[in-house]
Structure 1
Amino acid sequence: MSDTDSFIEEVTEEVRRDRLYGYLKRYGWIAALAIVGVVGAAGFSEFRSAQQAAKAEALGDAMIASLSQDEDEDRASSLADITAETPQGAAVLAFMTAGAQAEAGENALAAETLQSVSNNQDVPLIYRQVASFKTLLVQSDSVDSATRRAGFEALAVPGVRLRLLAEEQLALLDIESGDSEAAIARFQSILDDAEATAGLQRRALQAMVALGGAPQLEESANE
């Protein structure tokens, strides 16, 4: 390479460097702003995560403290005074509060607490379904069987995770109405269902025997 060529390359490189510095001086603030934005967003995300974790921990501590009360009425009252800041936290709190209220004999109040979850569109569907199921259970002494049957039938459909538990309640309503044959048929369908848990199948088997039915165990999916 001649001295002339070497000189030209040095000059070209210097020009490129000058242009780069010029671009940095002119547009460097954009890159700096982007970096600050990324770092700030990451910091804010960590801050929010820490806040949410702290709120969840505080809610858990408050519920544990309420459940440590000796009397059912005191537990129910203490839980009812707690406030949750997220829909899911409020749903869990409502389930625990309703349980304490039911144990204290306040079934109407428990049903009202559960309905606040079943009517809340901000919580996942399974939360609302569980709330509806529990509401029907606590209303067993205050709501007529036809209304409860309609409620359980709405849950005893494919795609609902509480389907078989709702079927069990429908069988119990059959017994309540004196229709033993219908109850036995429902319990047998539970025995035959591949999604039935061992505990649910055991209860179905015991109920069928008590009703004088002849369980067909060979058809059970979990045999």
Structure 2
Amino acid sequence: MLQQSALSWIIFVALCLSGPALFAQAPENDRADEAYSVSPYPMGNRPASARAAAFIRLFDTENVGNLRVYAARDGELDREYPFKGQAVPERFWDMLPEPYLSELQRRGGTAYAVYRIKGNRGEHYLLRLPTEKGEHTLVLFDLYGEQLGLINVLAYAYCGEKGCRQQDSFLTDLDGDTDLDILTKYAASPRAVPRSVVHLQQNDGGYETVMGWGTAIDLDAYNMRPVFW
């Protein structure tokens, strides 16, 4: 009887000591959100919810200084292709804006989280997903709460009835203000001279589009990666 009372007392003390810790444990999603808050970005840039934090964690962080973004032709990717990314679970697909969500559902493909890239007022998110411009189109988005907003289509490569088309982009500082700008170069055939468009990042994180020839940028210093020719 004495041994039973002692055992009961030990169990009671153990429960008292462990109880607060058990009740203090946060749900998995809350812990994920809390862990993200230690990122180097301002507290005002925290994810809007635990779901948004879980989505953000799918992306690798890329400290961009000069990054050439290029698409692969339809089909299986080469082992060395740098923009494969991590498959985005279907429960996050509704965060995509139209027409990307409908295209993804119609084609029965998968979206891939590639990089999250620091901008002037927050992060940008690079995804690889199937579109009418190819299976491996690379698109840059902002995240507003739990909804993605389009910044720009960065790269694609596809062929159609009128030939093949390719677009590459370069993420770099183009005008000397240390902001991350975007240079896109487009070609429709091996004989066509690539067309260039410059997108300069503004203080508020948005982009102003200017024609490349209207700046002092040496566009010839940025070469597209040949996919079809």
Is TM > 0.5 for Structure 1 vs Structure 2? no
More strand by share: 2
Bigger relative contact order, structure 1 or 2 (CA pairs below 8 A, ≥6 apart): 2
More helix by share: 1
Q: Tell me the TM-score normalised to structure 1 length.
A: 0.29
The structure number with the bigger radius of gyration is 1
